[in-house]
Structure 1
Amino acid sequence: MRKRIYEIIEAAENNDKASSTYDAIMLLAIIVSIIPLGFKNSLPFFYYSDLIITTLFIFDYFLRLITADFKLQDHSAIAFVKYPFTPWAIVDLVSILPTITVLNSGFKLFRLFRIVRTLRVLRIFKAFRYSKSIKIKESSSSDWILRIL
């Protein structure tokens, strides 16, 4: 079952309808989550849509974590420890953190993220994962970071 989940959550390269549907839903969620950045005032719709989309992103992160051994092609427990430090997992986590701080102001560690709430714009990078026309070759974390710098 985890293998099938992995096949669905990875960008569709074949004609897998479930994977294509998942990719389309995630792309739509990313686009909807970025729309509020263009408005000066925050509307209640944006607040609730952000909660729903962040929940979806957390669910996506969890699915990717439980299928990390397939992604990293390492069928040992170490894959589950390594995964959170991969570039895409970091992008996923950073795109989730700003909303978590709004949900519970008790996260003193995350108060810094309230200041930089515009980290939501990093959700654009999540779109690269689901786009068929944009393919980023995955390599080691240091190579990925060096290419950005």
Structure 2
Amino acid sequence: MKNTLTPRQKVACLFEGTGNYHHAGHLLDIALITLIMINVVAIIIESIPSVAQQYFDAFLILEIVSVAVFGIEYLVRVWSCVDKAKYVAIEGSNTKRRLKYLFSPLAVIDLIAILPSLLMFIVPLDLRFLRVLRLLRVFKLTRYSRAMQLLSRAFVSEGSSLFAAFFIMAVVLILASCGIYLIEHDVQPDKFGSIPAAMWWAMATLTTVGYGDVVPITPLGKFFGGVITLLSMGMIAIPTGLLASSFSEQVRKRRQLFEDAVHEQIHGDTLNDGSLNKAQRSHLEELRCKLGLNKLEANKAIKTQLNEHNSKLFCRNCGKRP
């Protein structure tokens, strides 16, 4: 069948890595990831004054090229987003779809990646904080990292529970600050002279960091600090446990989604000699990459489904079709 995709649809497929553009999209992702990592390393090294001065021209050329590439990528993504599966379903004009995309987290990250550099070129000042903000470019890796996507989904799915846990921690933080202030402020007015000043000790204690720069010295203060330390161990475990269980659940859902797709391909279509054809394997490989599963677990799911399907088609005794 002749390919009737428009140029914009082809670009959308390239960025999504779907269909015939799976391998090309994968290569594009690798190229962009490489450029992002080069930028992050360069920005870190550039913070060394002697190196920044010696290789000023090289850093400037790299920055101009990077901003140009990321800027073109951003504009092309905005242009082609209307043909992505996620936005095609949105009713309304292409302008509405593009506005929806512009305010999506990934689009905001793409804009942040180029905005500090653009401001540096426009504003005739050497704004150091804008140079540091270029490190936010590392968040572009979220688009290509399946692990980061799983973590963000875990945060979203457990948002209400995490909010409740952090609210309780905030209450305990205030109570701990007030308690240590009442106990220690007369003995150490320079360190516990106010409740806000005592919050530094409470934060370090509740997070079990314990910097040791501010510590209680009275017996009652030490006892109170011990109680807060023991309490903090359970407090920190709450959000950690929520995120761990949610992350595990997201991984399970992705595996289940792939197994369902394998089951649909095997039981929904006619197999050739009890095996998947090239088109089916290509579709499953594309889905595997999209879900971020490794080949071992994907092949295991395919083999399991094939064995289950073939066991129903062939006689267990003679090995022939009934």
Q: Under a length normalisation based on structure 2, what TM-score does the superposition of the two structures give?
A: 0.38
Is the contact made by 1:128 and 1:136 (CA closer than 8 Å) also made in structure 2? yes
Q: Given the alignment of the two structures, is residue 88 of structure 1 paired with residue 102 of structure 2, yes or no?
A: no
Q: Distance in 1 between matches of 2:128 and 2:113?
A: 12
More displaced stretch, 27-36 vs 115-124: 115-124
Amino acid at match of 1:130: Y
Q: Could you tell me whether the CA contact under 8 Å between 1:26 and 1:130 is conserved in 2?
A: no
User: Are the counterparts in 1 of residues 120 and 130 from structure 2 also a CA contact under 8 Å?
Assistant: no
Tell me what 1:126 maps to: 140
CA distance in 2, matches of 1:13, 1:67: 14
Provide the C-alpha distance between the structure 2 equivalents of 1:2 and 1:13, rounded to a whole number of angstroms: 14
**Pairing of 1:131-146 with structure 2 (within 5 A):** 131=145, 133-134=146-147, 136=149, 143=156
| SS class of match (2:30) | helix
Match of 1:28 in 2: 34
Cα distance, 1:37 vs structure 2: 2.6
- Residues 101-122 of structure 1 deviation map (CA, whole Å, 9 limit, x = unaligned): 222226xxxx7x7533212222
User: Mapping of 1:1-149 within 5 angstroms?
Assistant: 1-10=7-16, 12=17, 16-39=22-45, 40-41=48-49, 42=52, 43=55, 44-69=57-82, 70=84, 71-73=86-88, 74=90, 76-77=93-94, 78-105=96-123, 115-131=129-145, 133-134=146-147, 136=149, 143=156
| Aligned counterparts of 1:29 and 1:103: Cα–Cα separation in 2 | 20
CA distance in 2, matches of 1:135, 1:38: 22
Shift of 1:72: 2.4
Paired residues of 2:78 and 2:101 also in contact (CA < 8 A): yes
| Shift of residue 27, structure 1, vs aligned partner | 0.4
Considering only aligned residues, what root-mean-square deviation do their CA atoms show, in Å? 3.0
CA displacement at 1:8 relative to structure 2: 1.0
Closer, same or farther in 2 for the Cα pair 1:119/1:13, shift >3 Å? farther
Q: Which runs of 5 or more residues in structure 1 are unaligned?
A: none
CA offsets per residue over residues 83-108 of structure 1, 9 Å max, x none?
Answer: 211111111111101111222226xx
Higher-Rg structure is 2
**Aligned-partner residue type, residue 117 of structure 1:** R
Q: After superposition, what is the alpha-carbon deviation per residue over 1:38-91, rounded to whole angstroms, capped at 9, x for unaligned?
A: 221322211110110111001110111012222423363210122211111111
Aligned identity (percent) is 23
Say if 1:101 and 1:114, in contact at 8 Å, map to a contact too: no
Q: Report how many aligned residue pairs link the two structures.
A: 138
**Aligned residues of 2:117 and 2:130 also touching (Cα < 8 A):** no
Residue identity in the other structure for 1:6 = A
- For structure 2, list consecutive stretches of 5 or more residues without a partner in the other structure: 1-6, 167-322
Is the deviation greater in 71-80 or in 39-48? 71-80
Secondary structure at the aligned position of 2:147 is classed as: coil
User: Which aligned runs of 4 or more in structure 1 are off by greater than 3 angstroms?
Assistant: 12-15
